[in-house]
Structure 1
């Protein structure tokens, strides 16, 4: 009986944490923007001892802007217009993202995300290509990532098919001075490593 009660309490707290706490007054999330030729998404993975009570999340850059200087693309987007867990995108990502996320949980996730990233002080993320190596379908790309007021250089691999480029890079929040989100003494948390995926179409 005691074990059952404790489990019910954890589930209830997980709902409140939602992926964490939902304030009494939560600003409405912007509608999910339509998909365009360019897309950048961030995969956020659940952690902590009670991780199975939470959700993995996917964020999509709602105002992705891409410039094409000679060195390669420069991507910019604002944190405050990120689309949080759009249902069609979750469906595309398979079983790890198959759980349903309701509007209340999505709103709570958005609020905690903006707080953890200090989006009011650092609203924009910039990914600037510095150099490319290789040729053909696979390129090694060095980019400069600015997040949370911190800039880091990172290498990653990009697949090129004509004017279309697809890439993926692992970003650790702690490298940018961000404390990964955690509640309930670490029972529910967000893993430090994020997977950033992008697809770009050169005009």
Structure 2
């Protein structure tokens, strides 16, 4: 593990952050389950060069929700068009706000290694509200390539999930946040 100690700067050049939504309601069949990418984000991972190693690591990230791009829509009555993608991005911008209001931050409190992965517990702050979040992490290439997931409830951050067709189509309150980061491609300090 000594080769991964240090500080790494992360961003879209060495990883991805995806948000996956689901649908509910009487008209759920008409809507799509979406995969949306956060195209502007940055992060930092610091793994100290001491006995504690990974357990003393710190992780932080800043996500610009004003940079959302719809990558995929599954299900639904018809395939997503480019216009649908633009409309969804515009609706998300209206719901999430702009500028600093559209920026979320994550700061780790504890890293729990386990086998080829583990968990990162920390705090997600968005729109002036902070909530505990637990990222489940796996490593495809130990010490280098990591993937993780967390579930976040929109209402915990004061967001009313999207509804359409007079409430018959609803975006589920829970969204999945997935990330991947390749430390071998990250800038190292």
TM-score higher than 0.5: yes
- CA drift of 1:58 comes to 1.1
Secondary structure class of the residue paired with 2:46: coil
Verify: 1:110 aligned to 2:89, yes or no: yes
1:192 to 173, 178, 181: 173
1:63 to 20, 40, 46: 40
Return the TM-score normalized by structure 2.
0.76
Verify: 1:153 aligned to 2:132, yes or no: yes
In structure 1, the partner of 2:18 is 41
Unaligned runs of 5+ in 2: 1-11, 48-56
- CA drift of 1:121 comes to 5.6
Secondary structure class of the residue paired with 1:180: coil
Output the CA distance in 1 between the equivalents of 2:37 and 2:58.
22
Output the CA distance in 1 between the equivalents of 2:86 and 2:119.
37
Instruction: Provide the aligned C-alpha RMSD in A.
Output: 2.3
Unaligned runs of 5+ in 1: 1-34
- CA drift of 1:192 comes to 0.4
In structure 2, the partner of 1:74 is 60
Give the 3 Å change call, closer, same or farther, for CA 138–69 of structure 1 in structure 2: closer
In structure 2, the partner of 1:129 is 108
- CA drift of 1:96 comes to 5.1
1:83 to 69, 81, 93: 69
Q: Deviations over 1:48-105 (max 9, x none)?
A: 2111111111111111212123433212121111112x2xxx39xxx659x6311211
Q: Identify, as 1 or 2, the structure richer in strand.
A: 2
How many residue pairs match? The answer is 162
Output the CA distance in 1 between the equivalents of 2:40 and 2:97.
18
1:201 to 141, 159, 182: 182
The answer to whether the Cα contact below 8 Å between 1:119 and 1:148 also exists between their aligned partners in 2 is no
- CA drift of 1:37 comes to 2.1
Give the 3 Å change call, closer, same or farther, for CA 51–131 of structure 1 in structure 2: same
